[in-house]
A = this chain, B = another copy of it.
Amino acid sequence: MAVSTVQIGILGCADIARKVSRAILLSQTATLYAVGSRSIEKAQKFAADNGFPATAKVYGRYEEVLDDPNVDAVYVPLPTSLHIKWAVLAAQKKKHLLLEKPVGLNIEEVDVILAACEANGVQFMDGTMWMHHPRTAKMREFLSDAKQFGELKSVHTCFTFTADQNFLENDIRVKPDLDGLGALGDVGWYCIRGILWAADYELPKSVIALRNPVFNKAGVIISCGASLLWEDGKVGTFHCSFLTNLTMNLTAVGTKGTLHLHDFIIPFEEKKASFISAVESGFKELATGWEPKPCEHTVTTDIPQEALMVREFCKLVGSIKNEGAKPEKKWPTLSRKTSLVLDAVKASIEKGFKAVEIVS
């Protein structure tokens, strides 16, 4: 193992941690160094099932991972309500932090976490994997091309999946004391990030929730949507839900071009992903067809987006650790903006679908 490898500890044995463990292996820039669970048996089984080396540390308490001086960074996939405690503690213990989304239950929690990271000089990154796919960079190029795409005017995202009865009754994402943001915090996070991404992270001026959100008996949102409004007239809309078929669309429409894709968060396939772009689309004579037609572009990747996420995180951690670099502010900034909008959607729902101003 190269000296520069980042030694990662994982807090908890969530399902998503299995995917990230594999990503850590595939990244070839990090080591599965430790895992902690409130149950040591669970941690042992997790390590054995997920490719941890025989030398990996297995702990029966999260604190032990944070107290291990050889842990450079932690990946924290705990329920959102536990983020503030463990993320802040991790930062205080000088562990770089890869934190699952949503980052906190509200912007105040997010700010406490980000402040702790900043105060302790550790890198923060949330677990929004699709940000790291080379397709995303390629689509960014298209959106940034004034000649091809022009100016963004509208963007629509949708992320839904059909949760089964067990999920709807027992998953942490429907429990007010665990992931109290429900579908908004889970699938809605991606919808909001997708819109912000398309808007090159310019925050909207205000947010208005769509009517007809659905709540479970405990009052947790399981389906909702919103419109986002910018000062310059841009408009975004999204719909997110645990109640309908797996769908993940992003459509961005500019003055000159259009971008479409149907798998923006998790590509249909691991090693290649496509998007559709259209530039100065028009009709044939008599509008009997389109000319030019939209084009499909395919982007390949040797390792999946989650491994690229780990690689990016470890690159930043390595720079801090080995070269005395400062943490990259881009990632906490994106997390914060996403949380701000998410909070505004929630507030708009609570205020009877009134417009809620975004104050950064």
Contacts and interface: CB of A to CB of B under 8 A. Distances in A.
Interface of A: 18-19, 22, 150, 153-154, 156, 158, 160-162, 206, 208, 210-212, 214, 223, 225, 227, 229-230, 233-235, 237, 239, 241, 243-247, 249, 251, 253-258, 260, 262-263, 266-270, 276, 278-283, 286-290, 293-294, 304, 355
Given A235-B210, A237-B156, A266 B287 contact: yes
A269 B288 CA distance: 7
B235 A239 contact: yes
A212 B234 CA distance: 7
A39 to B, nearest CB: 22
Contact of A256 (B18, B245, B263): B245
Given A158-B253, A211-B235, A270-B288, 13 more contacts: A22-B286, A156-B158, A160-B253, A212-B233, A225-B227, A227-B227, A244-B253, A245-B280, A246-B282, A247-B251, A249-B251, A266-B289, A288-B304
Main secondary structure of the interface of A (DSSP, over half): strand
A355 B210 CA distance: 11
Contacts of A278: 245-247
Given A268-B290, A289-B270, A153 B241 contact: yes
Contact of A286 (B18, B227, B288): B18
A266 B214 CA distance: 35
Interface centre among A156, A256, A267, A282 (most CB of B within 10 A): A156
A152 to B, nearest CB: 9
Nearest to A232: B212
Contacts of A267: 289
Contact of A249 (B214, B234, B260): B260
B283 A266 contact: yes
Contacts of A262: 260, 276, 294
Contacts of A237: 156, 210, 225, 227, 237, 239
A316 to B, nearest CB: 24
Contacts of A230: 212
Contacts of A223: 153, 233
A239 to B, nearest CB: 5
Contacts of A233: 212, 214, 223
B225 A235 contact: yes
Contact of A19 (B22, B254, B286): B286
Contact of A211 (B227, B256, B279): B227
Contacts of A283: 246, 266
A136 B159 CA distance: 25
A92 to B, nearest CB: 32
14 contacts: A150-B244, A153-B244, A161-B281, A208-B211, A210-B227, A211-B227, A212-B233, A241-B253, A245-B257, A245-B258, A247-B253, A260-B262, A270-B288, A288-B304
